[in-house]
Structure 1
Amino acid sequence: MSFVYNADPERGREWQRLFAQRAPDIDFRLWPDIGSAEEVRYLGTWAPMEDLARFPNLEVIFSLGAGVDQFDLGSIPDHVPLVRMREPGIVTTMQEYVAMAVLALHRNLIDYIGQQREATWRALRVRPASQCRVGILGLGQLGSAVAQHLTGLGFACQGWGRTRRQLEGVACFAGDDELASFLASSQVLVCLLPLTAETRGILNAKLFAQLPRGASLINVGRGPHLVASDLLAALDSGQLSAAVLDVFDPEPPPADHPLWHHPRVLMTPHVASMTQPESAIERVLDNIARHRAGQEMIGTVDLTRGY
């Protein structure tokens, strides 16, 4: 029985070492050295693989990230579960990143970066976090954790999802009928939606127009959520005051893309959250044990819904 790892090779060697310590009965193989394809039962991958038929006895595909939108779900055999990564490292690093981004916007970091470039010394008014309302688009595992973390920092938080959620200290909105009310009071909008046919391009001119004038955007969902030309227009008109972007379409953006040089945009290279090998392996091994015992695995994707 073999487990094939297909992602960053440097991190893969760390996975290999940890597998040898914690699951010596599983033959760990680092792509492309897969050995006998007939022996492969489990595949851990970030990038989609075109020829899954090469693994005739494949039983489970593990996404090595929180999202699964990079996969062509229609190409995955019906009998092979796809399991997305749900481990503490992804959650805590996302909480850290969004807190950093919200604080940067709340405490005028973009303004101060611009002032430094111009050798301008001018203090801006400091307002308490409680006067800044942060709206989280998407209240899944990550969105819920981010919302609760921000409330701990004193921010007024609200969240929106397709279905109703209840989170202590967080005003929760649900469904299309409540989206406009949610947007109208979100001074900082954080996108943590899954990427589906319904959410592709959701961060567009129509949505931006429903935010308070001067609101700001943080996109840590997926690049295709955002219509970049609409964001640039909203920034230039003053409808939005700033944006922090960690995801793009494509990645990286072309060298001549205006986002690179816009004075009201902060960019990072898709680093908001990152799987931590130690805790990720514990989650994978737990799910393998569940699978062997005929139990439901944590994070199994509904292929019809896309998450």
Structure 2
Amino acid sequence: MAILTWLHNAYGRDLIDGIRAALPDEDIREWPEAGNPDDIDICIVFRMPPGFLKPFRNLKLMSATGAGIDHYLLDPDFPRGIRMVRVVDHDFAARMADYVLAWTLFHHRDLAHFLAAQARHDWAYKIMRSASDVRVGVMGLGQMGRLAAERLAAIGYDTAAWSRSPHEVPSVTCFHGAGGLDDFLGRTEILVNLLPLTHETRGILGAATFARMPAGGVVISAARGGHLVEADLVAALQAGTLRAATIDAFPTEPLPADSPLWEVPNLYVTPHCSSTASLQTIVDTFTGNVRRFRDGQPLLNEVDTIAGY
């Protein structure tokens, strides 16, 4: 059997060389040089067009190259019977937590006010609220969401979290399910979205959610572009329903140069850079799962392809 790779070119040859070095006994092929498609039983792919996997009739294990897997599962021809894993570890989650903390502090401490004042040469003093007076809410309690919530609570924010199923996180007030969403949003001034993208969460960052938050709230979204309803975000910022937003993932990426979102006041755009797996994380996680799969052991970070996460 053989492994087919189609990897992110940002890592150059280092990524495939790392995989080859860690799996010297495996037949590793690089797309488009796949050879006989019936040989392929393991695949690691960065992006793929719809139907890409159809020729590989003996495929048993599919690996993403990062934490997100929704774009794979949106393929109507994705073989639901195979096992799937993603790439995430503590370093990957820590990078996301860093992003969340940086932008939470940016909005809490109103750094935009001071940057604008500096541009005007204006000594614009402003009294800051204590972190304990600021109510932050994290949507999603996977590996990334949980660590972000823990770190927000650790530096003193009044932190809550919301997820589909019940969780307990020390120093974090946890809500769950449709019945807990209103109470969660009603107490959340700074909303952090780290949800997986599923049919239930698609479009969740829209008018209905913004209206249930306290007036003048903030949204930080570092999950998937499909969560966002762009027109609703712009309308909420223009109306003052939201006072600011930081968005890292958009429905269309890269965000087109002529997109009006670049110019919306109080909207901060980052280029889907909130967290990226290190080369070593990808190599270690993927090759570790290959060994586990060959030995019949439990896999790391296995995805429920029906639930979507």
* CA RMSD in angstroms, aligned pairs only: 1.8
Q: 1:101 to 1:119 in 2, by over 3 A?
A: same
Residue type of the alignment partner of 1:31: W
Q: Do the aligned partners of 1:89 and 1:274 also contact (CA within 8 Å) in 2? A: no
Does residue 303 in structure 1 map to residue 308 in structure 2?
no
Shift in Å, 1:289: 1.9
Verify the 8 A CA contact 2:88 2:277 in the aligned structure 1: no
Work out the percentage of aligned pairs sharing the same amino acid. Answer: 36
**Structure 2 residue aligned with 1:186:** 188
> Aligned residue for 1:142?
144
Moved more, 17-26 or 177-186: 17-26
**How much has 1:62 moved relative to structure 2?**
0.2
2:205 aligned partner = 203
Equivalent position to 1:258, from 260, 263, 268: 260
The corresponding residue for 2:41 is 41
Are residues 1:239 and 2:241 paired? yes
What CA distance in whole angstroms lies between the structure 1 residues aligned with 2:183 and 2:170? 20
Choose 27-36 or 254-263, whichever is displaced more.
27-36
Give me the whole-angstrom Cα distance separating, in 2, the residues matched to 1:21 and 1:215: 49
Give me the whole-angstrom Cα distance separating, in 2, the residues matched to 1:177 and 1:77. 34
Q: How does 1:142-181 map to 2 (within 5 A)?
A: 142-181=144-183
Aligned partner letter, 2:44: G
Kindly indicate whether the alpha-carbon contact (under 8 Å) linking 2:88 and 2:281 is maintained by their aligned counterparts in 1: no
| 3-state SS in 1 of match to 2:184 | helix
TM-score, length basis structure 1: 0.93
2:15 partner SS: helix
CA distance in 2, matches of 1:204, 1:19: 41
Letter in structure 1 aligned against 2:13: R
Distance 1:19 1:255, change over 3 A: closer
| TM-score relative to the length of structure 2 | 0.93
Other-structure match for 1:132: 134
Mapped contact 1:135–1:186 kept (Cα < 8 A): yes
Corresponding residue number in structure 2 for 1:68: 69
Q: Which moved more, 1:184-193 or 1:116-125?
A: 116-125
Tell me the distance in 2 between the aligned counterparts of 1:164 and 1:10. Answer: 38
Q: Deviations over 1:101-137 (max 9, x none)?
A: 1111111122233333444331221222121111001
Asked if 2 retains the 8 angstrom alpha-carbon contact of 1:12 and 1:30, the reply is: no
**In the aligned structure 2, how far is the partner of 1:171 from the partner of 1:305?**
25
1:12 Cα deviation from its structure 2 partner: 5.1
Q: Which amino acid counterpart does residue 113 of structure 1 have in structure 2?
A: L
Q: What is the rounded CA distance, in whole Å, between the counterparts of 1:292 and 1:73 in structure 2? A: 27
Q: How does 1:286-301 map to 2 (within 5 A)?
A: 286-301=288-303
* Cα distance per residue 1:41-63 (max 9 Å; x no partner): 22111213423133233221101
Per the TM alignment, residue 10 of structure 1 is displaced from its structure 2 partner at its CA by: 4.1
| Matched residues, number | 307
Partner Cα distance (2:31, 2:120) in 1: 50
The letter for the 1-side match of 2:5 is Y
Moved more, 29-38 or 237-246: 29-38
